[in-house]
Amino acid sequence: MGITRRQFFGWMSAAIGSQMVFRPDAKAASTHYFTGYADSMGVLHDISRCIGCRKCEAACNQVNDLPRPERPFDDLTIMENHRRPHADTYTIVNKFTLPGVDAPIYVKKQCNHCQEPACVSACFVKALKKTKTGAVEYDASLCVGCRYCMIACPFNIPAYEYDNAFTPEVTKCTLCQPRIENGKLPGCVEICPKEALTFGTREKLIELARQRIRNYPDRYIHHIYGEHEMGGTSWLYLSPAPFADLGMREDLGVTPAPALTSGALAAVPVVVSLWIVFLTGIHAISKRKEQTAEKEKQAAIDEILMVQQEKLNKTVAQLKEKAKSEQAAAVKQEVEKALAAAEKDADQADSASDHPGNQEEK
């Protein structure tokens, strides 16, 4: 990888610069916190006032043009089952008979329109949005149908049209946003004969709920469900009995859903930046190690070769020396032999010539 230092700095500043230019609203670790849009609307459900007439269910069915249910809305026995909203029912009322309490308690259930909704943060195509007026809106034209919103919702509200093969949608209460825009009340609020449902700005509703608890401390549990649950919801509840006994979970905590995932999301750019450094670094180290090992191997081989060569040279030299001396010795020997032979010959010649000489002398 031939990266020059200049290229490296160029890329790094481009990466950091793009983060700073395009993400001016990044504030993961700041002290900023969100308490909801000002003047956003909500509904206060006073459970103690509900008589279980199911008129809200019928009104919801009507204003949303939903198919007629199998069992009519005046069949009140259906409330014995603890139901949840489904594809063609955006709201339901369940009946709870608590031990030691004579009258049954009726609780309405629908989308709570969270201040910072889990479904909105979970949607990977922004098909769900929290509007400034309070409603959590669904845009079917974007929805892929992954159903992660249904997984994410702590209240088990969104439903799916599983039997629709070609245009299935996620369905849930819309807070009657279209009616609100036309200056009307949500269908369920408008029809409620006992004023168990009150529509208004969330701030006002919280004040109203506090006032009711203050005025009738014996009638209510001293808690406004939805004021802080999961970071707060647009629907708020007052109850004469513990919420947990009415199918409303009290163990959800007060952390808004997006805060649960912000850490993991924040790790993404860190992993990308660091992994590039680490992985190229490790690659460079292992490559260098390999090269060093190769060099050292070569050096060792060279050294061994050199030593061997030297040894060889020495041996050759020694051998040469030896051969030379042996040769010299051989030559010497030969010379000596030849000399000796020559001497002998000479002697013989001498003695041969001595004879006639001797004879001459004689």
CA atoms of 330 and 308, how far apart (whole Å) = 31
CA atoms of 54 and 91, how far apart (whole Å) = 10
Instruction: Find the shortest distance in angstroms from Cβ 198 to other proteins.
Output: 28
Which residue, 135, 125, 161, is CA-closest to 42?
A: 135
CA atoms of 97 and 12, how far apart (whole Å) = 65
Instruction: Find the shortest distance in angstroms from Cβ 110 to other proteins.
Output: 14
- Is 149:128 a contact under the CB 8 Å cutoff? yes
Phi-psi region of 147 (alpha: psi -120 to 50; beta: other; left: phi over 0): left
**Is the CB of 19 or the CB of 333 nearer to other proteins?**
19
- Is 84:209 a contact under the CB 8 Å cutoff? no
Site string for other proteins, 269-288 (x = CB under 8 A): --xx--xx--xx-xx--xx-
Q: How many residues does the chain have?
A: 362
Q: Which of 85, 134, 187, 226 binds other proteins (CB under 8 A)?
A: 85
CA atoms of 171 and 283, how far apart (whole Å) = 51
Instruction: Find the shortest distance in angstroms from Cβ 63 to other proteins.
Output: 21
- Is 166:140 a contact under the CB 8 Å cutoff? no
Instruction: Find the shortest distance in angstroms from Cβ 34 to other proteins.
Output: 13
Site string for other proteins, 27-66 (x = CB under 8 A): ----------------------------------------
Report residue 51: phi and psi, to 5°. Answer: -110, 5
**Is the CB of 49 or the CB of 172 nearer to other proteins?**
172
Instruction: Find the shortest distance in angstroms from Cβ 180 to other proteins.
Output: 25
Size of site (CB under 8 A) for other proteins:
62
Cα-based distances in Å from 351 to 263, 336, 360: 126, 22, 13
Type of residue found at 58: A
Residues 167-206 that bind other proteins (CB under 8 A): 167-169
Q: Cβ contacts of residue 91 below 8 Å, gap of 6+?
A: 56, 57, 60, 85, 108, 109, 110, 173, 188
Q: Which of 47, 58, 60, 87 binds other proteins (CB under 8 A)?
A: 87
**Is the CB of 19 or the CB of 309 nearer to other proteins?**
19
Answer yes or no whether residue 249 interacts with other proteins by CB under 8 A.
yes
Q: How many CB atoms are closer than 10 A to CB 44?
A: 24
The number of CA neighbours under 13 Å toward the Cβ of 41 is 20
Site string for other proteins, 293-322 (x = CB under 8 A): ------------------------------
Site string for other proteins, 92-131 (x = CB under 8 A): --------------------------x-xxxxxxxx----
Q: Which of 86, 184, 210, 223 binds other proteins (CB under 8 A)?
A: 86
**Is the CB of 1 or the CB of 20 nearer to other proteins?**
1
Instruction: Find the shortest distance in angstroms from Cβ 9 to other proteins.
Output: 19
CA atoms of 186 and 204, how far apart (whole Å) = 17
Binding site for other proteins (CB under 8 A): 1, 84-87, 118, 120-127, 142-148, 150-152, 154, 156, 158-165, 167-169, 249, 251-253, 257-258, 260-261, 263-265, 267-268, 271-272, 275-276, 279-280, 282-283, 286-287, 289-290
